């Protein structure tokens, strides 16, 4: 099931509810303007559902830009399919992401690499780009839409589960618990530097890729949680304790077996 909600004027949240194996929902954001823009594409296999949602607002063939926060399947898995239908459209990523991830693949369409502070004019809306390396990927990028003062922070401020389009309650314990369980941040320091920067920008709206959007009144709770609580990787990856094997090896080195795969 995919839901389409206009959060602020001209900005639509497209939300697919969590598939069985995932603890989070997946959002894309569509900006309806002279140069329509899709932020995040969803998975390759999500294309039909996301395209149908876009079509509720505008013709997908009109897309001018498809913005990738970082190179990961849920961010950009459907990029080639969207751009095939809108061949005049341009992929937008960080300059690092465009060069490292998009420059040496089979994709041959146009790519625009953005540096910190670069701006795209969509008509009534303007996108300003923030380079945010290691939050949570090397090539990570965030976007500020200046007209509505909306932040698109990709995987920062995540909320697990099926959340409403706009949240009003403090879900930071759930956010921190998920970060600790999946291990997407190698260290707190880069995240906290970005949180300080976001707080100075003081966005009126924050639109995470996973979970509900929220207004600036709720934001300080998220800022405080990320500043004061541990959430970085400490040996647990997608719920699997990698350090358990290391502890077992130290305790019983001769009894620790390896997994063997046959081709």
- Return the percent helix, strand and coil in the chain, to nearest 5: 30, 25, 45
Between residues 72 and 108, which one has the greater pLDDT?
72
Quote the pLDDT of residue 18: 63
pLDDT of residue 250: 72
What average pLDDT does the segment 185-190 reach?
Answer: 97
- Please check whether residue 98 is in contact with residue 77, taking contact to mean a CB–CB distance below 8 angstroms: no
Question: How far is residue 68's CA from residue 89's CA, in Å, rounded to a whole number?
Answer: 13
What confidence category does residue 137 fall into, taking pLDDT thresholds of 50, 70 and 90?
Answer: very high
Q: What is the mean pLDDT of residues 138-150?
A: 97
pLDDT for the residue 122: 98
Q: Among residues of the chain, what percentage have pLDDT more than 70? A: 94
The model's confidence at residue 19, banded by pLDDT at 50, 70 and 90, is: low
Q: Give me Rg for the CA atoms of the chain.
A: 19
**Mean pLDDT in residue range 219-231:** 98
* Res 262: pLDDT: 64
pLDDT grade, residue 16 (50/70/90)?
confident
Q: Is 243 exposed, middle or buried (0-12, 13-18, 19+ CB in 10 A)?
A: exposed
Q: For residue 45, what is the DSSP state?
A: G
pLDDT in tens, 81-129: 998 999 999 999 999 999 988 877 777 788 999 999 999 999 999 999 9
Average model confidence (pLDDT) for the chain? 92
d(CA 83, CA 223): 36
Cα(212)–Cα(251) distance, rounded to whole angstroms? 45
Report the side by side order of strands in the sheet with 90-94: 2-8, 11-16, 26-31, 37-39, 65-67, 90-94, 111-114
Report the distance separating Cα 91 and Cα 70, nearest Å: 12
What domains lie within the chain, and their CATH numbers? 2-169+205-216 (3.60.15.10)
Residue 136: asked if its preceding bond is cis (omega within 30°), the reply is yes
Q: What is the DSSP letter of 60?
A: G
């Amino acid at each position: 099931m995919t839901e389409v909600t206009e959060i602020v004027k001209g900005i639509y949240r497209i939300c697919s509810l969590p598939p069985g194996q995932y603890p989070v929902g997946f959002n894309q954001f569509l900006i309806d303007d002279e140069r329509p823009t899709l932020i995040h594409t969803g998975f390759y296999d999500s294309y039909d559902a996301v395209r149908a949602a876009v079509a509720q607002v505008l013709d997908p063939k009109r897309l001018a830009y498809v913005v990738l926060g970082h190179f990961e399947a849920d961010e950009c898995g459907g990029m080639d399919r969207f751009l095939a239908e809108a061949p005049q459209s341009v992929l937008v990523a960080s300059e690092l992401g465009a060069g490292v991830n998009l420059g040496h693949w089979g994709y041959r369409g146009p790519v625009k690499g953005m540096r910190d502070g670069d701006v795209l004019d969509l008509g009534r809306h303007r996108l300003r780009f923030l380079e945010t390396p290691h939050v949570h990927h090397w090539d990570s990028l965030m976007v500020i839409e200046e007209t509505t003062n909306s932040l698109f922070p990709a995987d920062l401020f995540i909320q697990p589960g099926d959340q409403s389009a706009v949240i009003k309650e403090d879900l930071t314990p759930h956010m921190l618990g998920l970060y600790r369980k999946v291990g997407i941040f190698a260290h707190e320091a880069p995240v906290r530097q970005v949180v300080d920067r976001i707080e100075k920008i003081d966005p009126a709206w924050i639109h995470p890729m996973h979970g509900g959007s929220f207004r600036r009144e709720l934001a300080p709770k998220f800022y405080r949680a990320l500043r004061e609580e541990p959430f970085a990787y400490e040996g647990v990856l997608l719920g699997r304790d990698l350090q358990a094997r290391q502890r077992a090896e130290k305790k019983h080195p001769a009894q620790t077996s390896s997994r063997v795969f046959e081709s």
